[in-house]
Copies of this chain bind each other. A is one copy, B any other.
Amino acid sequence: MSEIDVLGIGNAIVDIIAKTDDETLIKLDLPKGHMQLISSQDADRLYDGMGPATEISGGSAANTCAGIGAFGGSAGFIGVVQEDQFGKVFAHDLNAIGVKFDTPFAGGQTPTARCLVFVTPDGERTMNTYLGACVELGAEDIDEAQVKAAKVTYLEGYLFDPPRAKEAFYKAAEIAKANGRRVALSLSDAFCVDRHRDDFVKFIKSNVDVLFANEEEIKALFEVDSFSTAADLIRHEVELAALTQGPKGSMIIHGNITAAAPAFPVDQVVDTTGAGDLYAAGFLSGLTQGASLEVCGSLGALAASEIISHIGARPEADLVQLAKQHELM
């Protein structure tokens, strides 16, 4: 199997995205700016309360893999969908951008996962995920040869939610480590960190080389109120940490080195869905090509700025061209 840049493992989800207002979030009792897990019944109920929507493939690690593809890199993805219309959409959209995705469809009838994304006028997204077929992901879906072939195996923190996924990512991390490959993790969401803090800490200590987190998530991990305290604490836990701070840019921590990358200005923040995922895509695109930490951070910022300028978490622009315009490639 020929070498690839990034192998993503994550929840395979189609996003259903609608514009809304803050009153609707309150009325529907949704945690603004976060991701919550919902049942199939709640998904139906919330969908009834949602305006006209757009369906776009999503899933955190899958978005990152699509970003790697859009940057001209090579990526593969492991995740489980059902053989239904959304499942075919999800598979198509990854394959169409050059990401290898061939995890077998789930058995049974559980539908492909969907995430109801409510976007408020400030561009903030509030996510409600019915995991559906994602809960079928298990260790048996991890192909040893594929993990060995990947410079980086990238896991989304959301994988701590479906119970069997943990076996899958422990298996993947062990194969990667045994073969001298890097393991990257995104903390995904502060609520998700709260749900699984001990598991996160243990997994990071033993397996993670590159950690992605935003301010809220890294503070939640260490249960501290200060970002700089959290940043100092993570310095000793991982080889490399990329900590995003929204419009303030990102801080990259590597041993004693602290590098900064500013955010790219955007005319209008339309929808922040996927901002972290695409930051990781840009960062890992740089990292796997041997770029400096500053350039890695800038590629991340650039991809994030593209994704928040439009609805949906999959890139619409040609990221290679964009990177060249900014002399980052």
**Interface of A toward B, CB cutoff 8 Å:** 16, 18-19, 47-48, 50-57, 66, 84-86, 89, 92-93, 96-97, 111-112, 312, 314, 316
Contact = CB atoms under 8 A, between A and B. Distances in A.
A52 B97 contact: yes
Q: Which of A53, A85, A112, A316 is packed against the most chain B CB atoms within 10 Å? A: A85
A19 B51 CA distance: 25
Contacts of A55: 54-56, 89
A167 to B, nearest CB: 29
A85 B97 contact: no
A85 B16 CA distance: 12
A66 B54 contact: no
B56 A19 contact: no
Contacts of A19: 316
17 contacts: A16-B89, A18-B96, A19-B316, A48-B92, A51-B97, A52-B66, A52-B92, A52-B97, A53-B93, A53-B96, A54-B55, A55-B56, A55-B89, A84-B84, A85-B85, A85-B111, A85-B112
Pairs of residues from A and B, 10 with the lowest C-beta to C-beta distance, nearest first: A55-B55, A85-B85, A52-B93, A52-B96, A51-B96, A52-B97, A54-B56, A85-B86, A52-B314, A84-B85
